[in-house]
Homo-oligomer: A and B are copies of this chain.
Amino acid sequence: MAAQRGQRNGVGGDTPPAPTAAEVTTPIPRVAEVPAARERARAIPEAAVARLAVYLRVLSAMQEQGAGTVSSEELATAAGVNSAKLRKDLSYIGSYGTRGVGYEVAVLIEEIERILGLTRKHSVAVVGIGNLGHALANYGGFPGRGFPVSALFDVDPDLVGVPVGGLPVDHIDDISRVCAEREVSIGVIATPPPAAQTVCDRLVEAGVQCILNFAPVVLQVPDHVEVRKVDLAVELQVLSFHVARRADDAAATNGQQVNGMVVS
Question: Which residues of A does B touch, CB under 8 Å?
Answer: 1, 4-7, 9-13, 17-18, 37-38, 40, 42, 44-51, 53-54, 56-58, 77-82, 115-118, 120, 122, 124, 131-132, 134-136, 138-139, 141-142, 145-147, 185-186, 209-212, 216, 218, 224, 226, 228, 230-249, 252-253
Contacts and interface: CB of A to CB of B under 8 A. Distances in A.
A248 to B, nearest CB: 7
Contacts of A252: 37-38, 40
A49 B238 CA distance: 6
A253 B141 CA distance: 35
A240 B38 contact: no
Contacts of A10: 11, 47, 50-51
A7 B51 CA distance: 11
Contacts of A6: 79-82
A80 B218 contact: yes
A118 B240 CA distance: 7
Contacts of A79: 6, 218
A234 B80 CA distance: 15
A131 B122 contact: no
27 contacts: A6-B79, A6-B80, A6-B82, A11-B46, A12-B45, A17-B81, A44-B241, A46-B238, A49-B241, A53-B237, A53-B238, A54-B218, A80-B218, A116-B237, A117-B240, A122-B239, A122-B240, A124-B236, A141-B232, A145-B237, A147-B233, A185-B243, A209-B243, A210-B239, A211-B239, A226-B243, A230-B230
Contacts of A78: 218
A17 B85 CA distance: 10
Contact of A50 (B11, B18, B244): B11
Contacts of A210: 239-240, 242-243
